[in-house]
Amino acid sequence: MATFTIKNGLTGAVGEFEILESTMGAPVVNIAGLRSKLGAYTYDNGLGETATCQSSITYIDGAKGELLYRGYPIEELAQKKNYIEVCYLILHGELPDSGQYDRFEKDIRTKSYPHEGIKHLFNAFPDNGHPMAILSSAVSALSAFHHQHLNVSEEDEFMEMARRIIAKMPTLTAFTYRHSMGYPLIYPDMDRYFTENFLYMMRAFPTGKTEVKDVEVRALDKIFMLHADHEQNASTTTVRAVGSTGAHPYAAVVAGINALWGRAHGGANESVIAQLEMIGSVENVDTFIKRAKDPDDPFRLMGFGHRVYKNFDPRARVLKSLRDELRDTIGISSRLIEIADRVEQIALSDEYFVKRNLYPNIDFYSGTILEALGIRKKMFTPIFVIGRTVGWIAHLIEQKRDPKQKIYRPRQRYIGKVRRSVP
């Protein structure tokens, strides 16, 4: 057994800790018993150097710019598979055969209808409420309408719950959007594929034909796929933390939705569009690039660099190719895409950005694609929720299967007042 030796320089105590090998990536040091052996805790602000769990779902190599779902490269999945196939892969560990896919996809269609009573919830919200606030409330309400799953214990019950929430998330998201616009709510169409159905529910009206182009479906399908999971990010860690308490999976997913709402997480692509709007025109790009390079200017380019990737974000490569395909196929063009192209062109060739590994990330491209598809900026993060739901559920299932999983209870470095008496 390989071990890692740590010495406490204050007390002289020495402890040996087991090194656990990973199938890919760096090994980890199992520091269980650290306090009893050395009288100390670790301190890792932001948990960037800490593994809080074991997982077989997603692997990231930030230095190489590599992302694998269950061992499959994201680039190959995006090229050869659709989102529902990837959902099956993430949930079950293997890609489905034709029969498995047909049954799974049919079940997702069937479960896309919400309980009729949940529609009344939307009437309680102002139409100018943020969609993420409304969506998180709607998902929370699902537990009231599906109370028979409040004590999920069996594997088949958990999978039933998983398919239900994956299926209903696009419907609730479309309801959220249409409520904010003052439009009538549109039910799912059982004859449409998952992603086509979402665009239909966003765009349709009770009378008239709704056009949804195949290339639009493929574009949004890839965006869902690229967001399906991303290892132990902030929202997934939040889902696992809540799930570790034994809370119902819907409650854990709601916690993930609210964590994803943050500007530094799921709201980043919305911030990219807001910044492109602020830049205003291609002629202004050089000025803002200079500001981004000025250490005394607080301005920073949104959509560049990543906490994990120190190379090109592999998801960004897929979306860059997709955006170019959309431009060539249906001629999408906008002022914001022209500005984004100029920003990208400068940043990829400027030594300042290259030296600092500030490459465009997924948020830089996803926002401009969604904007070009006619999706409003305030809906960007709810669309992220649709894609990420399967990842959250897969992590909850994995956590449930782990007999060694404990409730999350981090420690802290206390820097407050020492013990004192009340006068």
pLDDT in tens, 161-198: 999 999 999 999 999 999 999 999 999 999 999 999 99
For residues 209 and 306, what is the distance between their CA atoms, to the nearest angstrom?
42
Helices 380-401 & 83-92, crossing angle to 10 degrees?
20
What sign results for the dihedral spanned by CA atoms 413, 415, 417, 418? positive
* Residue 176: CA count within 13 A, CB half-sphere: 27
| pTM of the predicted structure, to 2 decimals | 0.90
For residues 275 and 292, what is the distance between their CA atoms, to the nearest angstrom?
12
Is 149 an annotated catalytic residue? no
Q: How many CB atoms lie within 10 A of CB 404?
A: 6
Read off the amino acid at residue 198.
Answer: F
The residue among 73, 6, 51, 39 whose CA lies nearest residue 226 is: 73
The residue among 201, 128, 136, 139 whose CA lies nearest residue 166 is: 139
pLDDT value of residue 150? 54
Judge whether 3-51 and 60-403 match in fold.
no
Helices 194-203 & 155-181, crossing angle to 10 degrees?
30
For the domain spanning 60-403, the CATH number is 1.10.580.10
User: Is the Cβ–Cβ distance between 310 and 63 less than 8 Å?
Assistant: yes
**pLDDT band at residue 330, thresholds of 50, 70 and 90?**
low
pLDDT value of residue 239? 97
For residues 52 and 61, what is the distance between their CA atoms, to the nearest angstrom?
17
**pLDDT band at residue 147, thresholds of 50, 70 and 90?**
low
pLDDT of residue 52 exceeding 60: yes
From the list 229, 306, 313, 395, the catalytic residue is 306
DSSP 8-state code for residue 380: H
For residues 7-26, b (16+ Cβ closer than 10 Å) or e, as one string? eeeeeeeebebeeeeeeeee
User: Is the Cβ–Cβ distance between 171 and 112 less than 8 Å?
Assistant: yes
Domain extents for the chain? 3-51, 60-403
For residues 371 and 379, what is the distance between their CA atoms, to the nearest angstrom?
10
Q: How many CB atoms lie within 10 A of CB 311?
A: 14
Structure-token pair, residue 369: 């694609």
Class of domain 3-51: mainly beta
**pLDDT band at residue 89, thresholds of 50, 70 and 90?**
very high
Is 248 an annotated catalytic residue? no
From the list 221, 229, 313, 363, the catalytic residue is 363
